[in-house]
Amino acid sequence: MKFLLDTHTFLWLDSDPAQLSATAAATLADPNNIPLLSYASVWEIQIKVQIGKLQLTTPLTTYIQAQQQTNQLMLLPIELRHIFALDRLPLHHRDPFDRLLIAQSLSEGIPILSRDSMFSRYPLKVIW
């Protein structure tokens, strides 16, 4: 099964796995599953690193490459159809990065691994 990682889920996977629910941890540990990380999350992480809201132990490029190897992480590009899908989303969630993740999850027909309770207000499968 393919699934999309919310940004916090991706970060906890490496830095604080105790924050993951048992269901999220089992989903991530299943070798038959394919975790996807959106370019939107990479963008969000880069911004947070630059403004001092997040510290990584290695440069972001190294961090992403290591996760691709360690966890068979695949990157999900942002496509125009993902951006256009935002027009159909109600404004339950105001965070632009999370809204794009929701649009991608819906457009791709894949669940999202997230602790964010606002995601459940949209017609997508949330795993936590």
Any idea which residue has 């999370």 for tokens? Answer: 98
Letter for the amino acid at 23?
T
- Give the mean model confidence (pLDDT) for residues 63-76: 95
Q: What is the DSSP string of 35-48?
A: EEEEHHHHHHHHHH
Q: Does domain 2-127 have CATH number 3.40.220.10?
A: no
pLDDT at res. 93: 81
* 3-7, 27-31, 60-64, 86-90: least confident range: 86-90
CB count in 10 Å sphere of residue 68 = 14
Residue 90 banded pLDDT, cuts 50, 70, 90: confident
- Give the mean model confidence (pLDDT) for residues 76-81: 98
CA distances from 22 to 16, 27, 77 (A): 13, 9, 28
Is the pTM above the cut of 0.75? yes
Q: Can you state the angle between helices 7-15 and 60-70, rounded to 10 degrees?
A: 80
pLDDT in tens, 6-38: 999 999 998 999 999 999 999 999 999 999 999
Percent of the chain with pLDDT over 70: 100
pLDDT at res. 17: 94
